[in-house]
Amino acid sequence: MSILTTFITVLSMLIYAVPGFILKKTKALDENVIPALSKILVFVCQPCFAIYAYNKAEYDPALFFRVLLFMALTVSTQLIVVGLFLLIYKKKWESVRYRICTIASCFGNAVFFGAPVIETLMPDFTEAVIYANAYGVGMNILAWTVGSAVITRDKKYIKIKKILLNPAIIGFAVAVCLYLCNIKLTGSIETTFTTLGKMTTPVSMIILGIRLATVRIKPIFTTPLFYLTIFFKQMVYPLIAFGVISLFGFDMNIRTVMFIIGACPVASVVLNFAEMLGEGQEEAADVFLLGTISSIVTMPLILQLLNT
């Protein structure tokens, strides 16, 4: 995979953040718009992306079972990493900074950032966005449950209801039902879901731009803990994820998808949930911003391993 192609793809997505930054700096937008945009992202764009992804793929009943295994492996890998960092940061658990970095160590921008990169780098593998969505659904299940519990230190979020009734899993269920029934959306209906689904990236990056215009720049680049988190998430974690998926006989296309998703920057869901839960917003913004900005270097570098 060309390092230049990867660099340009990542850079083009970061450009989406510019309007949000400018609008906030010129006071055309208030900071309070961020939670509202976050809800649009979580409750509208992501479920629509699932429908778009499955509607794009060729019908193959066996695909669903491969996707379920893929999702189970991604969730298991992230749980192991979260558990590892819970142990490492156990004595510093009072600080929300360490709790945010715990989930940021493995929550990656699979849908909002990863899917466009995958579509660009793997144009002939039409199932790629389905696996990206599956990763995102699994991560969102964790975000609504384990992630929320870690941020707030409140176990009330770990409930079956949170797993079954979150927007990501509902969108996934609808998309799978349509797919297994071999129902293809066409015309204006297809266009609507495609447009809303593909809004995940620009809306996510606009939120990034707005947030970047509201934070103090110095703490983002002078906090060693954030660099450690970014290095693990964007350079070490993709190797772990690739190793895990390779153990279960998936072909190289699917392993490549896992590697690319694993290399994606810290997930916007870390910031979105911090915003919605009202805790750790500043720390989540800092590590999310540093991860996204640094991805312009880390992704082209780590993805070069695919060429070896």
pLDDT in tens, 65-82: 899 999 999 999 999 999
The SS3 of residue 109 is: coil
pLDDT of residue 192: 93
Integer angstrom CA distances of residue 80 from 73, 86, 96, 234, 241: 11, 10, 20, 17, 11
Tell which residue, 81, 3, 66, has the closest CA to residue 239: 81
- Give the rounded distance of the alpha carbon of 26 from its chain centre: 29
Look-up of token digits 């429908």? 51
Q: What CATH number belongs to 3-10+34-307?
A: 1.20.1530
Q: List, in order, residues 6 or more apart from 94 with CB less than 8 Å away.
A: none
Integer angstrom CA distances of residue 142 from 50, 122, 130, 163, 280: 17, 27, 18, 8, 17
Q: What pLDDT, in 10s, does the model give residues 209-267? A: 888 888 788 878 888 999 999 999 999 999 999 999 999 889 999 999 999 999 999 98
HSE value, Cβ hemisphere, 13 Å, CA-based, for 40: 16
pLDDT of residue 2: 64
HSE value, Cβ hemisphere, 13 Å, CA-based, for 226: 23
pLDDT of residue 1: 56
Whole-angstrom distance, CA of residue 218 vs CA of residue 286:
10
pLDDT of residue 252: 92
Task: Answer yes or no: pTM beyond 0.75.
Answer: yes
Tell which residue, 267, 271, 264, has the closest CA to residue 285: 271
Question: How many other β-carbons are positioned within 10 Å of the β-carbon of residue 165?
Answer: 11
Q: Cβ(103)–Cβ(260) under 8 Å?
A: no
Q: Which residues of the chain have pLDDT under 50?
A: none
Whole-angstrom distance, CA of residue 303 vs CA of residue 211:
28
- Give the rounded distance of the alpha carbon of 80 from its chain centre: 18
H-run or E-run covering 174: helix 167-180
pLDDT of residue 80: 94
